[in-house]
Structure 1
Amino acid sequence: MTSHAAANLETLITVFGGSGFLGRNVVRALAKRGYRIRVAVRRPELAGHLQPLGRVGQIHPVQANLRYPASVEAVMRGSETVVNLVGTLAESGAQTFDAVQTKGAETIARAASAIGAEMVHVSAIGADENSPSAYFRSKAAGEKAVLAAAPSATILRPSLLFGPEDQFTNRFASLARISPFLPLIGGGETRVQPAYVADVANAVADAAEGKTKPGATYELGGPDVLTMREIMEIILKITERKRMLVSLPFGLARLKALFLQFAPGPLNLTPDQVAMLQVDNVVSDGAKAAGLTLQGLGITPEAMEAIAPQYLWRFRAAGQFQRKSA
């Protein structure tokens, strides 16, 4: 263990939402840097998969619920930094966009400010109070609430995340196994800037270490701006499947989503997810000019075409043993 890592063991970082896709990678990144990590989750008994990411006793899942401020305050006691990764792509019961991404974020920020802890808040590119998507409107409201309660907080806005176990590339690769076609909502012309989850996790860890500008908003995108059509083509190429790409106008997609929001697995689609695709999801020119990007943090982002083959091979007809066509 390096002296730097040994010194970090004296520092406690509380991570809210640390058991999710991005959360697991953030916990791993912080553990590698030697920090003690308290992972605040609703169901600690389901967070056992985090333990192997660090040394014995380094990672400690603890119960907390954003709807109960007392539990939020209790779980961050003794922390020097608080990271909020909590979010939901679809509302369910009490887990509404407003409850999770606005009021929940505000509760965490107020509690962090009360104990003098620094805060890192993960939002999303596309956060806009005027967005057609309720998800993005709640993200914008969450950012505003966080900065009001903790003005020195760092806001990180990733684009779509990809990586092993993601709900993006894996979803469409899975759909390609059971469907003769893949839908291109809005014609597949929406532009996104997919970011590798490990790169974003390292940016979160950098922010937790105080390497970001206080009160600044960073936009984290990968090296390539791709249309949804291009992403589908990449997924089909990697999985070696031939499928029709069928354009689906936004109006028809919204209508289908009224029924598909109750569908299981890769068929699931909500009206709000359709609304999210009406706006490009790319790093702004302003963020690039100000150096508020992955590159500005000294991180060289990985491309989807370089990383996705490492985990999407399992969707080929014969998996990793699939023979290359002549």
Structure 2
Amino acid sequence: MAKLTEKKMELMKKLSNSNGVISALAIDQRGSLKKMMANSGRENVEEALEAFKVHISKELTPYSSSILLDPEYGWKAAEERDANSGLLVAYEETGYDASEPGRLPDLLPLWSAKRLKEKGADGVKFLLYYDIDESAEINEQKHAFVERIGSECVAEDIPFYLEILSYDAKNDDVKSEAYAKVKPRKVIEAMKVFSDDRFNVDVLKVEVPVNMAFVDGYTDGPVVYTKEEAASYFKQQSDVSDIPFIFLSAGVSAELFQETLLFAKEAGSTFNGVLCGRATWKDSVNVFAEHGSEKTVEWLQSQGRKNIEELNAVIDKTATPWWNQKVTI
């Protein structure tokens, strides 16, 4: 992992709670959130997107150690966050070019790690789609890309959070039974690759290693993993890297995400927190689109707060401090 300088250590603490656990709120969605807004009938989608992020930030950051925003629509929301909440900022272009193979990444052209830091970011986040089994020609491009960002963050003395979304180049349906069978390898091996010191990653933001919808006892449909098999994958994932790692919610329900964290803890995973987005605020999108700001604020102050406080209670029981990892200083 990247060497934690005194400045990086200070910023890592700003992004986590007093126990060294990262309980971060993600609202850096752009393309997917625009679609959610448009499908809900909202007009002036870009203005609505910016306003919605402000509501999320203002109402929910009092209960989060930090918030992840984007530099395209998120700066007003950043200004409205709680004074004790750290700021992570996304560096990638949203989505990927589906017409080209490899889901190759790209950066926002008007931003750099230096500019994000100057604007007030406490950490830089980059999302990478990665298939361990894709061609070396494609994956080497991705390796070089991450190396560049890691080097930027070293130069700017700012934490680098790498978000890895696994996929199968031969199967677009990541929710399918077929993908569930290969997901543990895809997730675990990707973590292993980007734990190498050459990438200078400070925190890995990753998926859980199984699709819980196919775990015995968590599904009424086909079973891909017994509970024992699923638990072994969580333990393997935890053991494959010395870098602090946190789980993303991947859009599952708040209840299932909380159950998953409890399962991970029981399996022996030493994850260091979460960066949770849609599981917390997803249902407020329709409220905002159909009823406006006042009703949205009411929802966030009641159900939104309930979702995040319940999640925090689970995190308190399950996550371990990031400084327990083999952090180099």
With the shorter chain as reference, the TM-score category is 0.3 to 0.5
* TM-score (normalizing by structure 1): 0.35
Instruction: Determine which structure has more spread, i.e. the larger CA radius of gyration.
Output: 1
TM normalised by structure 2 equals 0.34
